[in-house]
Amino acid sequence: MAQATIDGLKINYVVKGDGPPLIMLSPGGFDSNIGGWSERGVWKDLRPLDTLAKDFTMIAYDRREAGHSGGRVEPHTWRMWAAEAIGLLDHLKIDRAWFIGGCMGVSVASAIGAHFPARCIGLLMHWPVGGFRWRAKGHLNFNKHIAFARANGLKAVAERARKATGFWADPESGPWATVLAQDEAFTASYVKQDVEQYLAICAYSRDTVFDDTMPSGATGEQLMALKVPSFIMSGDDASHATSTAHALRELIPGSVLSALMPPQQNAATVTAWIRESAASKATVT
């Protein structure tokens, strides 16, 4: 593992393989870390850092506030996460790259395409999040944390975070749970904050990240203006609604939606989808 400093924060990352650069935007909701590429869903069998290393220069990282990366209490936005990925490209002196997102990582990929299109060769979007139930889950998790912090204080949040496995698994522990669990200096500053100001940041993050039932990451107008080759593979559950994948296909010009649904998605078929999509050089209209 290596570390970079991006926007003043420590970011943990790994580079493996040879070929066109592929930035990996991990699945796992807010717990988006390198391990997601070998521990979650189809990726457990596919293990892309190994199987795709002959096709791409694989660049995986722990997103800020996840894994072993650092964090800072400030409003969360999709553009913030997009800028972090671009900062990693800058650190590695890479001009343009493919971006593959899984789950919430698709939303970061959408934001990258919307705000930094010149840095994109193309987008690979596996199991995009969105829809009513995804928005409801995000609001519920933030609201659980807000209620816990208001009732018990930030010291209690920090104590809970030390035992938690992350915000998405234990919402009361909050979006900064992984940093609280491993960074004593951050924790010391965290517990001294004004509680109401902190809760306002949490509420702003909730309402900005989970703003509507559209595909998360970019507005409809931004998606319709996107001029980046985009390839989509749908999920089919409460967080990864099939309708979200279809909305992306309808809105992103020239995008290609795979016909394979989760029952047909396995290590072999998803690997083939990635390789064939990257080779197809779809035309943006």
- Reported as a single tens digit per residue, the pLDDT across 139-183 is 999 999 999 999 999 999 999 999 998 999 999 999 999 999 999
pLDDT at 29: 87
pLDDT, position 40: 86
Classify domain 2-131+214-280 at the CATH topology level.
Rossmann fold (3.40.50)
Judged against a pLDDT cut of 90, whether residue 281 lies above it is answered with no
CATH 3.40.50.1820 in the chain is located at: 2-131+214-280
CA distances from 38 to 34, 267, 278 (A): 8, 11, 21
Give the pLDDT confidence score for residue 285 in this predicted structure: 43
Q: 228-254, pLDDT tens digit by residue?
A: 999 999 999 999 999 999 999 999 999
Per-residue pLDDT at 202 exceeds 50: yes
- 188 burial via Cβ count (<10 Å: 0-12, 13-18, 19+): exposed
Interval 24-40 mean pLDDT: 93
